[in-house]
A and B are shown apart, each in its own frame.
Chain A
Amino acid sequence: MTTHFFGDTAVLTGRSLRHITRSPDTIITTTIMPIAFMLLFVYVFGGAISSGSDSYVNYLLPGILLITIASGISYTAFRLFLDMKSGIFERFQSMPIARSSVLWAHVGTSLVANLVSVVVVVLVAVLMGFRSGAGVLAWLAVTGILLLFTLALTWLAVIPGLSAKSADGAIAFSYPLIFLPFISSAFVPTDTMPGPVRAFAEYQPVTAIVNAVSDLFTAQPVGTDIWIALAWCVGILIVAYVFAMITYRRRIS
């Protein structure tokens, strides 16, 4: 059955990408909240925040990109939920195709859609004065980390997508993920936070990822942060994938 895996995944990815091109509002709603946060923090709060950086938008962007991805992957859960509910998931599962391609197609779609959203947010940031001295390699490294982060969170999104009882339930899991960057080094340096909050902020995955992306953007040596960031992404990916597969097997037996 694996002989058709790539072909079937490509066909099904084409199908769900068409859903996005037919309703571009999914890209708009994904990007509007991070852009609004960016405007709010740069033009309202920004003046009062001392980030230790020359330009607050430069400081802010890595965290904003993670928020973009966190809100983008909720659509994966939503689309998967709709497929489960409409019965088209069962139709695909009863056909002579590589069965896992149904899930991989949603994952592939998520990667493409989030990449587009991230590019849109970066372009808005550039309009707001974001500048980076990063070279081609650093940009590729940023893209790689963000794609890995998207992949990990997308497999996390597959779990509620397969098991939710309602559309609201399918997307609700993403709210804490959207909130997580606020309790990290993404918006303000962690130094001013009280003890326990600071401890949480410094050891949660978002901080390591934000610091790594930030170092790459400012063309500074990335240090150990990038390895911690990668370890978090791979760790979340493995755990999410395992639980997604358990949920999937439960749904088809």
Chain B
Amino acid sequence: MTTQVQEPAIHVQGLEKSYKKLEVLRGVDFDVERGSIFALLGSNGAGKTTVVKILSTLLKADAGIASVNGFDVAAQAADVRASISLTGQFAAVDEILTGRENLVLVAQLRHLKDPDAIADDLIERFALIDAAARKVSTYSGGMCRRLDIAMSLIGNSQVIFLDEPTTGLDPEARIEVWQVVKELAKHGTTVLLTTQYLDEAEQLADRIGILHEGRIIVNGTLAELKDLLPPAKVEYVEKQPTPEEVFFAIVGDDDKDEARRRQ
């Protein structure tokens, strides 16, 4: 048991994957400590999704080692699947079912007791009470994503993969997702998230790995990454409001202002 605790939640070493002639991963190495948030940062097509798919047993690597929760993704795929939850790049929800039915479905598939109670609890936590009985096809993008993440929390998996959780969301929904992710890590869940946005990695991650041309070129805490830059110079610049500040100033959503201050 003690060795398990020492072991990283995710261990990746020399991971390689090609699609026909296109080399996507050329030897990716990184570890993710238990209960921490690791952000895989990279541009479109850098191979972030490929890494997530290999770790969630949806894709087989050509070479290298990958283990999740101490289980090898190739040899012990079933054990890996019992340890993880995946939130893919696009909200993987059933649009014809209601929000509630989606949650119950996942709880049933995870063979949990009392799927209805689990659904009720998540509906409340994710502020979906009014929408729970509606077909998901009527939901906004942000609501879909919230439901999607709620579905991933069912069964309290030890490791959660979030593949670009905020891509395509409006600023308000984005901050909501961030709060959920922080909440998760507080409860000891290990989170691997991929993102194209440096500010998202900065907001959420304990460690950041930059994936570029099939390799992790930098891996460290935000402070360590900043140290790699030339020392800061003192300059006087007019501070422009961020797009989010402009958005909230216009929308004037008090709750969200408060939410931001709490962060």
With A7-B111, A11-B109, A88-B94 as known contacts, state yes or no: A96 contacts B82, CB within 8 Å. Answer: yes
Binds B, one of A14-22, A40-48, A166-174, A192-200: A14-22
How big is chain B's contact interface, by range?
20 to 34
Interface residues of A in 80-119 (CB under 8 A from B): 86-88, 90-97
Task: Write out, one digit per residue, whether chain A residues 11-54 have a CB within 8 A of any chain B CB (1) or not (0).
Answer: 11001001100110000000000000000000000000000000
With A11-B105, A15-B97, A23-B96 as known contacts, state yes or no: A90 contacts B88, CB within 8 Å. Answer: yes
**Chain B CB within 10 A, most for which of A1, A88, A94, A96:** A94
Whether B111 contacts A94 by the Cβ 8 Å rule is no
Whether A253 contacts B59 by the Cβ 8 Å rule is yes
Whether B96 contacts A22 by the Cβ 8 Å rule is yes
Q: What residues on B are CB-neighbors of A131 within 8 Å?
A: none
Whether A4 contacts B84 by the Cβ 8 Å rule is no
Q: Report how far A93 CA is from B110 CA in the complex, Å.
A: 12
With A1-B78, A96-B78 as known contacts, state yes or no: A90 contacts B92, CB within 8 Å. Answer: yes
Whether B93 contacts A18 by the Cβ 8 Å rule is no
- Give the shortest distance, in Å, between A196 (CB) and chain B (any CB): 42
Q: Report how far A167 CA is from B240 CA in the complex, Å.
A: 47
Q: Is B256 part of the contact surface with A, judged by Cβ < 8 Å?
A: no
Q: Is B204 part of the contact surface with A, judged by Cβ < 8 Å?
A: no
Q: Is the interface of A mostly helix, strand, loop or mixed?
A: helix
Q: Is B29 part of the contact surface with A, judged by Cβ < 8 Å?
A: no
Whether A87 contacts B111 by the Cβ 8 Å rule is no
The residue in chain B whose Cβ has the minimal distance to the Cβ of A8 is B109
Q: Is B60 part of the contact surface with A, judged by Cβ < 8 Å?
A: yes
Q: What residues on A are CB-neighbors of B53 within 8 Å?
A: 90
Whether A253 contacts B89 by the Cβ 8 Å rule is no
Name B residues whose Cβ lies closer than 8 Å to a Cβ of A: 53, 56-60, 78, 81-82, 84-86, 88-97, 101, 105-106, 108-111, 135, 151
9 example contacts (A-B, Cβ-Cβ < 8 A) are as follows A8-B109, A19-B96, A22-B135, A86-B92, A88-B93, A91-B151, A94-B58, A253-B59, A253-B60
Name A residues whose Cβ lies closer than 8 Å to a Cβ of B: 1, 4, 7-8, 11-12, 15, 18-19, 22-23, 86-88, 90-97, 252-253
